[in-house]
Amino acid sequence: MKSENTGGTILREKREATAGFDPEAIMADFPILTRKIGSNKLVYLDNAATTQKPTSVIEALNSYYRVMNANVHRGLHTLAEESTAAFEEARRKTALFIGGVKSEELIITRNATESINIVAASWGRKNIRRGDRIVLTEMEHHANLVPWIALSKETGAELAYIPIDSQGVLDLENIDSIITDNTKIVSLTQMSNVLGTINPVEEIGRIAHAAGAVFLVDGAQSAPHMPVNVKAMDADFYVFSAHKMLGPTGIGFLYGRENILNSMEPFLYGGEMIREVRYDYADWNILPWKFEAGTPNIAGAIGFSPALDYLNSLGMESIRDHEKKLTAYAIERLSEIKGIMIYGPKDIESRGGAVSFTHGEIHPHDLATFLDSRGIAIRAGHHCAQPLVKKLGLNATARASFYIYNTNSDIDDLAAGLAEAWRYFGHG
């Protein structure tokens, strides 16, 4: 098929331009980064919430609707066959990206939140009863907290939490008294969206399996920023979202072991997920389509394909190294500013590119608004991790989070904005 998508050409040009990982060259592939906020250049530091999209992703979305738009898996005409092939190619690429799992083990969802809800509702309702234990951590995002709270209320199961220490690192000293023989599932984030903490998922996975528990890893914050291999971490479930890793919004993934997924009932019912329907009977499709009722986000999946190409061309190890340098520089620069308190591990090897902080008595919302007036985009609030922020003794924090197109210059702009905010709000 003759396609209008020039993503391949752009990617080849980018590979030449970014030899040795050049974020300045990478920035040129992101149209939104040329935007001004008022008279100021955009300094985008809210990547833990969502990342910006390269031209290749934008053009893939445009190309799908211009030359290929059709439903998947249902038609025999040319457009339907091309759309289906591109949709399933995106699934195949994604399965390779997380460690080479089987394509049929990768369910396409709307986001990581929906993926966890599928596990809680489908696997959880079948396997968890009163007296069983669900183990989480004190640093979970609401997406990996609320579904389990709801399930515990429904079933009478007990919730238990792996605590964090004063540095925001999981305290595993009493782990054997938390992950016990009655534990049915251990579900935790690989990287905290607030503290930046990178958790020892392989170690915790071994403990969970030794106790006979199923092991779920929330990779929403880790898959975009570091090499991920779900086989190495021995995860039974792994979830993540495309929009945090250069891809479109509204597309996410649920990896599950084939035998476990086959034992689960569907979460949604209707078209696509059926094999046979009579007036008094329905039978379910095979994996992965058993869990993909209705028309999926076809454009989103196809748009994610060049996002994966982009990340693979840079190399996830290189991305991780770049972010470690940025994070170390950010902590150094922010620590020099009067009134700044930084939360999370001090060891750069133990944290990702998200830095949460407070700035004296300046409310984080006021701080974010002030910085926005200078073109600097950060996040402020409880970051959908309200219990964690309250445990820190706070109602909110400010958060700067980094990605492939960020530079030391962005951090310098942030530091200058924070110093100016200190003066503006009457502290010197």
pLDDT value for 20: 60
pLDDT tens for the chain, 428 residues long, are 333 333 443 343 333 333 468 999 999 999 999 999 999 999 999 999 999 999 999 999 999 999 999 999 988 999 999 999 999 999 999 999 999 999 999 999 999 999 999 999 999 999 999 999 999 999 999 999 999 999 999 999 999 999 999 999 999 999 999 999 999 999 999 999 999 999 999 999 999 999 999 999 999 999 999 999 999 999 999 999 999 999 999 999 999 999 999 999 998 998 888 888 899 988 898 999 999 999 999 999 999 999 999 999 999 999 999 999 999 999 999 999 999 999 999 999 999 999 999 999 999 999 999 999 999 999 999 999 999 999 999 999 999 999 999 999 999 999 999 999 999 997 75
- Residue 256: phi and psi, rounded to 5, are -145, 145
| Residues 149 and 32 grouped into a single domain | no
User: What end-to-end distance do the CA atoms of the chain give, in Å?
Assistant: 64
> What percent helix, strand, coil does the chain show, rounded to 5?
45, 20, 40
Structural domain boundaries enclosing 147: 62-311
Residues 46, 105 within the same domain? no
The alpha carbon torsion through 51, 57, 63, 65 (nearest 10 deg) reads -30
40, part of any domain: yes
Residue that finishes a domain, picked among 250, 285, 311: 311
Identify which of 383, 400, 244 has the alpha carbon closest to the alpha carbon of residue 326.
400
Q: What is the DSSP string of 25-44?
A: HHHTT-GGGG-EETTEEPEE
Residue 107 counted as domain residue: yes
Q: Is residue 57 in a domain?
A: no
Task: Check which CATH number belongs to the domain holding 352 and give it.
Answer: 3.90.1150.10
* The domain boundary residue, chosen from 267, 284, 311: 311
Q: Using an 8 Å Cβ cutoff, are 157 and 248 in contact?
A: no
pLDDT at 6: 35
Whole-number pLDDT of residue 313: 96
* Residue-level pLDDT at 113: 98
Identify the burial level of 33 via C-beta atoms within 10 angstroms of its C-beta, where 0-12 means exposed, 13-18 middle and 19 or more buried: middle
Q: Is residue 2 part of a domain?
A: no
Residues 103, 181 within the same domain: yes
**Integer Cα distance of 428 and 420 in angstroms:** 10
C-alpha angle 275-301-192 in degrees, rounded to nearest 5: 110
Same domain, 124 and 273: yes
Q: Which residues contact 85 (CB under 8 A, 6 or more apart)?
A: none
Q: By the 8 A CB rule, do 405 and 353 touch?
A: no
Indicate whether 352 belongs to any domain.
Answer: yes
pLDDT of residue 276: 87
* Closest residue by Cα to residue 405 from 328, 335, 311, 331: 311
The verdict on 96 and 181 lying in the same domain is yes
Q: What does 122-168 look like in DSSP terms, one character per residue? A: IIIHHH--TT-EEEEETT--GGGTHHHHHHHHHH-PEEEEE-B-TTS
Task: Give the per-residue pLDDT at 4.
Answer: 36
Q: Is residue 7 part of a domain?
A: no
Per annotation, catalytic residue among 384, 392, 400, 419: 384
The helix or strand, by DSSP H or E, that contains position 237, with its residue range, turns out to be strand 237-241
Q: Would residue 93 show up in a list of annotated catalytic residues for this protein? A: no
Q: Is residue 163 included in any domain, yes or no?
A: yes
Q: Does the residue 6 lie in any domain?
A: no
| Same domain flag for 287 and 320 | no
**One domain for residues 307 and 319:** no
| Whole-number pLDDT of residue 428 | 59
How many domains does the chain contain in total?
2
Using CA atoms, how far apart are residues 170 and 163, in angstroms rounded to an integer? Answer: 6
Owner of token pair 């569907």: 266
Same domain, 287 and 164: yes
In sign, the C-alpha dihedral spanning 110, 114, 115, 118 is negative
Same domain for 373 and 253: no
Same domain, residue pair 196 and 340: no
Q: Count CB atoms within 10 A of the CB of residue 393.
A: 6
DSSP 82: H
Considering the domain architecture, whether residues 118 and 24 belong to the same structural domain is answered as no
The residue out of 263, 281, 311 marking a domain boundary is 311
Quick one: 251 and 276 in the same domain?
yes
DSSP 77: S
Question: The CATH number of the domain where 190 resides is what?
Answer: 3.40.640.10
**What residues form DSSP beta bridges with 330?**
none
